[in-house]
């Protein structure tokens, strides 16, 4: 389809919004887009339907089929409601739990969702105010709901919002439910959406659910004595204007920590995120105010959460006295190492224990587990796949699961990454380390010395709009069908393509099956020198992501910085070799 045909289709689609069952403010906004001489915004708003994918909806807010608004949210909810009524025909009362974050329009969208569910005869539990995503997952399980929805765009820019759908175990939708819901959503027309709610089927959740959740988080504690000894540990915490503003400090207090320092400007709940360029704890800039405060007061630990409270970023002092962000792979390593070590010391390992990591997460995670006789499962990116492993292994003992993108789930009472639990356990690890005259950086180096050194880096390329999505698709095609024979001077010895679920040796041509039931648009390239390169399009953002992992020998603790520098140069060499600079 050429540009003229695309524009003609867009104008036809947008014009229908001027006459359909849409409110007047929406019609006025659409007319303004149609009247603009530059049609870029119009095309981006209407060139496709905002896809209800396997992760739900996510997009910029505004009028249009490709935007987050009450109509796209309404269609998603009506489709999900239709599917729930078909899936549980004999259920006396189907119920769902609804949560929302700090973003602009999140309250509007969550109220819209509650009204539509109730209008379809489904009981809707809705939180009285913004709450972290993991608490919503917990509430689904505790209340015995059949589904749930969280209104959030996680750490996306302020222009975005999103809609994540969950199933009765508290995890996001996986096959067959994800595809079935997508089919139901696609069949919904605007006139099918039941916007008029039934107040009798809407129940508000508040402090009682908070207490149940926080008391359950407390059960994860493995070193209460260390916390008692280090209860004055100086912890600087920031919610980055989001949902953890109350629950993380409350949880830390519940654990026994008495010295949590806030950043007042970032305790302000605000979907415009006025103090940060990006409310993403993966970005060093997001932690700057907290690190500056920590430097001023000589704190022990900095922790930050993303707006919906599922990701955790931490910063600690290194050997040089400089504050250093611990990346997501390192955070997952520290969690896994600690949970296994302390459970072993306390006699809590059963011999049938397991952890889960995503395929783009460091392989060192697996080394730590398996060298301690703990099974390690690989899963696709996204905690719904970690939850899927848990669902399939009910007889095994879950220890923890994590991914490189600053997410970890230390307990089995939620089925999504949980920054409230993670903050609580990470503070406990810091107290446990300090009880041994160490800090988290010391613990990390000890892990590397015992299990091997690994260095990781993730970069991404943004490609917006229709043209951008086409460019990303072409890049993935080129990597698949024109895979380099060597990268940075090291031969390619294995290629894993998760669209075909095949692992191929490019030298011999030998192929084996990957142990995954579903496909994913991910390609992994392994080099002779032990490096791993993973490439995938983001499922929620207009990005193509590259994950690099290199391995090096670490002869001693004293060689840490020299080894790290060597690894960094190797990663830069790979990036140069792939022309990604």
Nearest to 148 by CA among 520, 396, 416: 416
Output the six-digit token pair for 31. Answer: 């007319």
Query: In terms of residues, how long is the chain?
Result: 581
- Beta-bridged to residue 100, according to DSSP, are 151
Give the contacts of 299 (CB within 8 A, at least 6 positions apart): 234, 235, 236, 261, 293
* Assigned token pair, 103: 């973003």
Residue 393 corresponds to which tokens in the numbers above?
């292994």
Asked whether the beta carbons of 253 and 221 are under 8 A apart, the reply is no
Long-range contacts of the stretch 44-50 (C-beta < 8 A, 24+): 44/465, 44/466, 45/14, 46/10, 46/13, 46/14, 47/6, 47/9, 47/10, 47/465, 47/466, 48/466, 49/186
The number of CA neighbours under 13 Å toward the Cβ of 146 is 21
Count of beta carbons in the 10 Å neighbourhood of residue 422: 31
φ, ψ (nearest 5 deg) of residue 135: -70, -35
Does the annotation count 154 as an active-site position? Answer: yes
Backbone phi, psi, residue 51, to 5°: -70, 130
Helix (H) or strand (E) holding 338: helix 328-345
Cα atoms in the 13 Å half-sphere on the side-chain side of 315? 28
> Exposure of 277 by Cβ count < 10 A (0-12 exposed, 13-18 middle, 19+ buried)?
exposed
Tokens matching residue 559: 């060689």
- Secondary structure (H, E, C), 238-292: ECCCCCHHHHHHHHHHHHCCCCEEECHHHHCCCCCCCCCCCCCCCCHHHHHHHHH
d(Cα 333, Cα 105) in Å, to the nearest integer?
37
The active-site residue, picked from 45, 118, 147, 154, is: 154
The count of other CB atoms within 10 Å of the CB of residue 344 is 14
Instruction: Return the bridge partners of 151, or none.
Output: 100, 163
Tokens 């994918």 identify what position?
Answer: 53
E strands, 387-430, are 397-403, 407-409
Catalytic site positions? 154
């Amino acid at each position: 389809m050429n540009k003229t045909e695309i524009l003609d289709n867009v104008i036809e689609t947008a014009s229908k919004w001027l006459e359909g069952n849409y409110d007047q403010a929406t019609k006025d906004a659409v007319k303004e887009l149609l009247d603009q001489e530059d049609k870029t915004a119009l095309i981006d708003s209407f060139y496709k339907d905002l896809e209800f994918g396997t992760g739900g909806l996510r997009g910029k807010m505004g009028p249009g089929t490709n935007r987050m608004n009450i109509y796209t949210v309404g269609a998603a909810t009506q489709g999900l409601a239709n599917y729930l009524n078909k899936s549980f025909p004999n259920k006396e009362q189907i119920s769902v739990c609804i949560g929302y974050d700090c973003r602009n329009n999140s309250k509007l969208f969550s109220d819209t969702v509650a009204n539509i569910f109730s209008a379809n005869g489904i009981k809707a539990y809705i939180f009285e105010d913004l709450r972290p995503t993991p608490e919503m997952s917990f509430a689904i399980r505790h209340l015995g709901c059949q589904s749930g929805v969280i209104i959030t765009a996680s750490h996306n820019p302020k222009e975005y919002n999103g809609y994540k759908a969950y199933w009765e175990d508290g995890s996001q939708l996986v096959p067959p439910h994800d595809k079935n819901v997508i089919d139901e959503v696609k069949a919904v027309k605007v006139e099918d959406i039941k916007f008029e709610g039934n107040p009798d089927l809407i129940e508000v959740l508040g402090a009682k659910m908070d207490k149940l959740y926080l008391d359950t988080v407390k059960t994860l504690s493995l070193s209460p004595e260390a916390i008692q000894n280090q209860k004055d540990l100086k912890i600087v915490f920031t919610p980055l204007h989001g949902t953890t503003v109350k629950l993380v400090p409350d949880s830390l207090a519940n654990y026994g920590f008495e010295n949590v320092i806030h950043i007042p400007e970032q305790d302000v709940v605000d979907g415009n995120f006025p103090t940060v360029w990006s409310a993403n704890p993966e970005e060093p800039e997001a932690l700057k105010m907290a690190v500056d405060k920590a430097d001023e007061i000589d704190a022990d630990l900095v922790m930050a959460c993303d707006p919906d409270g599922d990701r955790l970023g931490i910063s600690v002092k290194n050997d040089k006295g400089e504050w250093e962000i611990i990346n997501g792979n390192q955070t997952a390593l520290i969690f896994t190492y600690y949970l296994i070590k302390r459970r072993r010391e306390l006699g809590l390992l059963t011999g049938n224990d397991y952890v889960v990591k995503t395929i783009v997460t460091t392989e060192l995670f697996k080394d730590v587990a398996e060298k301690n006789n703990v099974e390690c499962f690989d899963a696709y990116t996204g905690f719904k796949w970690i939850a899927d492993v848990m669902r399939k292994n009910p007889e095994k003992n879950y220890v923890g699961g994590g991914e490189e993108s600053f997410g970890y789930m230390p307990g089995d009472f939620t089925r999504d990454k949980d920054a409230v639990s993670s903050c609580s356990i990470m503070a406990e690890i810091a107290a446990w380390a300090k009880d041994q005259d160490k800090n988290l950086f010391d613990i990390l180096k000890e892990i590397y010395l015992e299990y091997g050194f690994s260095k990781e880096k993730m970069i991404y390329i943004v490609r917006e709009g229709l043209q951008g999505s086409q460019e990303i698709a072409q890049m993935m095609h080129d990597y698949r069908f024109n895979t380099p024979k060597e990268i940075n001077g090291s031969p390619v010895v294995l290629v894993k393509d998760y669209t075909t679920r095949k692992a191929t040796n490019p030298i011999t041509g030998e192929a084996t099956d990957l142990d995954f039931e579903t496909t994913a648009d991910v390609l992994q390239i392994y080099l002779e020198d032990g490096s791993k390169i993973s490439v995938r399009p983001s499922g929620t953002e207009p990005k193509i992501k590259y994950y690099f992992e290199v391995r090096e020998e670490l002869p001693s603790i004293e060689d840490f910085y020299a080894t790290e520098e060597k690894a960094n140069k190797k990663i830069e060499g790979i990036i140069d070799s792939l022309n990604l600079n």
